[in-house]
Structures are given as structure tokens and as C-alpha cells.
Amino acid sequence: MKTLKLVFQNKELLKKIAFVFAAFLLYRVAVFIPIPMISVPDELFNNELLGFLNAFTGGALENLSVISLGVGPYITASIVVQILQTDLVPVLTEWSEQGEVGKQKTNQLTRYLAIGLAFIQALAITIGIDSLSVGVSPTPIVFVYLAIIITAGTSFLLWLGDQITVKGVGNGVSMIIAAGIISSLPATFITLWSLYITPLSADFSTYVSFMIVVVLYIAILLGIIFMQAVNRKVPIQYANRSGQSKLSGKHDSNIPIKLNSAGVISVIFAITILSLPLTIVQFANLSGPVATWITEIFSSTRPIGFTLYIFLIFVFTFFYSFLQVNPEKVATNLSNQNAYIPGVRPGNDTEIYFSKILFKVTLLGAVYLSFVAVVPILTAWAFDLPPTVSVGGTSLLIVVGVAVETFKQITTEANKQEYKGFIR
């Protein structure tokens, strides 16, 4: 309540929040601006990958709007650059160690790569849709023209995200993703209402089913909010400095390791790898034993695909967690700062100790991510829900993560005003 009061007393912060909402309004308008010369059947988005991407874009992909790709290419480019910075490309590794200058170079490279990926993905979409015979003239010029339009839409979203970061609150790109997901929530509950409450055949059992699904959704949301704050603190100590040892003594601190260091990247990777073969089958209109075999292996609703889905989540969770929290760099930084973990020798022993802790935390995080990721599959099977309704899943992870980080920034901005007044 105190924070809310401080927010309303801070005019600058209110202007930033108002700017964010204005940007969201502009984003929602763009969702309904269609690409010319294209129409697409609704059943196309029964595909898991396309349905997943459609939720991320707030329905822009389903509408085939000019921002159909959302900020997906930028996310992909960011992940690729992060992986290349792990000593795979020496130049990029040097940039990561050059402070603000290196960060600017990396950001510029990421944007150029994102635009290139957006054009390639846009070209693939237009050619793929043409294979369904829904009204696009099959000429190279038309494909390139439509791809340029979609690429321009992604460029616009990146610019809008930058404006939110600079003139608003929160990370602009993350806020746009969260806004797209939140905008699809009303349609989810409307679908549930029409499925369980409004039909003439509705009775007490359907009302109970509706309540169970809603309560389950809220419970998962609260669980994700709680788990978002869970971390393992590794205690560290800073050795005395020669000129201050008598005055300050030892200074105790800790390194927090988040339960979910990988975020939602591992789930996104797993869904992408599983869904790409299914998408190719659908676009190519394949049928027969080959299509059946591919569906059995790669569909997460089938036993083999379900097992493979969980396995991929574990693999990518460990990969990305150790990429984000590099034990070798942590040990080196501690040594450079004259710090150490109590009872552990600096250097190689610290790296091994930290790796063991990170492994244990990541194992729990992978179990947690797998649970959140499979809940929509299990609930859809138990309650016979349509593909447009997802109870829990990656979307909630993203929304909660963005909401927590944005709330922290708003709280910090609000308290700045309070401290400023105190100094005066």
C-alpha cells in the first residue's frame, strides 16, 4: 500500500507507466493490421508450434498481421549470440569483457542478426502458406515483398521495445511478449465459459469441471509466483584489506543461484525441436506411415513424444543454466575480488564446489520446469480442452517473471522520490 502511494506521488513514474500503456495500445493496433494478399484457415494453428508462437504474439500470427513474427527473431538472435560468446568466437568473447562498449557492439550485432532471421522466417511463412493454396500469387517478387513487410513489423516492435526501455519501465522486449500473452487470456476464459457453462447440455458436473480448471489455473499461477523467488544462497567472505582490516574486519555476503536459472528458454527449445517436424508434415500435406511415425515420435501428446519432451527440457535446462552461471567465471571473479567460499580453497576447488551446487539446484529447476510444461498437456487430456486453452505452461512463467522484475523497478523508482525528498 505504501508503494502504491509513492507511485501516485511520483509524477515522472506515472508518466513512464502511461507511456508503457500507450505503447501497448499501439502494439495491439498493429496486431490487427493484416498482411496484404493473404488469408489463412483457422485449423492451421492447431499445430503445436504455431499455436505456441501465436500465443506469444498475442494473436498476431493467427491474424497474419504485419507483426506476425513478434520479437521471436530477436530472442533467437540473442540466444545464438550468447552461445557464440562462450569462447566459440573469440571476437564476441572479447566484446563480453569490454564493459559498456562491448555491450553496445553485441546489441548492434544481435539486432542485425534478428533482422536477418526475421526476413528468412517471413519468407518461409509466405512460401509455406502458399503451399496451402490460400490466395498468394506464387511469384518470387510477391514472396520477397511480403517478407519485407513482416520483417518491417518485427523491426517496428524492436524499436517500440527500445522506447519502452528508455522512456517507460521494465525491459521493453519482455514487456511486449508479456502483453501479447496477457491479451490472449480473456479469450481463454471465454472459451472455457462457452465450453462448460453456456451449452444447453450444461449441468452440475460441467460447472464443477469449470471451477476445477479455474482453481487449478490460479493455483499454478500462485505456485509460479512463489517459485520465482526461490534461490540457493552460496555464502562468501571477503578477506581483510590491508588498510581497513582493523576497522572493518571480514565482510560476509552470498551468491544467489535461482532455482530456474535457465528461465523459459529450455522449454521453448524443446517445443521448437519437437514441433518443427510436425509443422513440416502439416505444410507439406504428408500422409501415410511416415506422417504417422513422425507424429508418434514428436507429438508431446503421445507417449514417446511426451517422454522426449521432458528429456529435452532437462537437457536444455542444464545446458543453459551452466551457460548463464559459468562456475569457472564465478571462481575467477571471486579470486579477483579477494573473496572465497568458507571452507573451500580458491581456484579449481571453488569451481568444482560451485558446479556441484549448481547441478543440484538445476536438477530441481528442471523438475519444476517439466511439471509446469506438462500441466497444460495433462489438463487438456483430463478435461478434453481445445488447443486454444492452456492451463499453466510457459506463458505463465514469462508473465510472472516479467511482472516481478517490472514491479521491482517500479518500487525502486518510487523509493527514489522518497529518498530525494528526505535529502532535501
Interval 225-235 mean pLDDT:
87
Q: What are phi and psi of 252, to 5 degrees?
A: -90, 145
Cβ neighbors of 100 (< 8 A, separation 6 or more) are none
Task: Look at 402 and 251; give whichever has higher pLDDT.
Answer: 402
Coil/strand/helix, residue 147: helix
388 in Cβ contact with 187 (< 8 Å) = yes
Interval 178-190 mean pLDDT:
85
State the DSSP code for 43. Answer: G
Task: Look at 390 and 216; give whichever has higher pLDDT.
Answer: 216
Partner residues linked to 311 by β-bridges: none
Q: What is the pLDDT of residues 108-150, one digit of tens each?
A: 999 999 999 999 988 887 877 655 445 556 778 888 888 999 9
CA distance 264 to 81: 17
CA distance 304 to 109: 39
Q: What is the pLDDT of residues 343-373, one digit of tens each?
A: 888 888 999 999 999 999 999 999 998 998 8
Interval 200-215 mean pLDDT:
87
1 in Cβ contact with 152 (< 8 Å) = no
Task: Look at 136 and 33; give whichever has higher pLDDT.
Answer: 33
Q: How far is CA 210 from the centre of its chain?
A: 28
Amino acid 133: pLDDT: 46
Domains along the chain with CATH numbers: 1-183 (1.10.3370.10), 185-392 (1.10.3370.10)
Amino acid 27: pLDDT: 93
Interval 33-42 mean pLDDT:
72
pLDDT band at 284 (very low <50, low <70, confident <90, very high): low
Interval 20-44 mean pLDDT:
81
- Identify the helix (H) or strand (E) that includes residue 223: helix 204-228
- Identify the helix (H) or strand (E) that includes residue 257: strand 251-258
Retrieve residue 418's grid coordinates. 522518497
Amino acid 22: pLDDT: 94
Task: Look at 9 and 420; give whichever has higher pLDDT.
Answer: 9
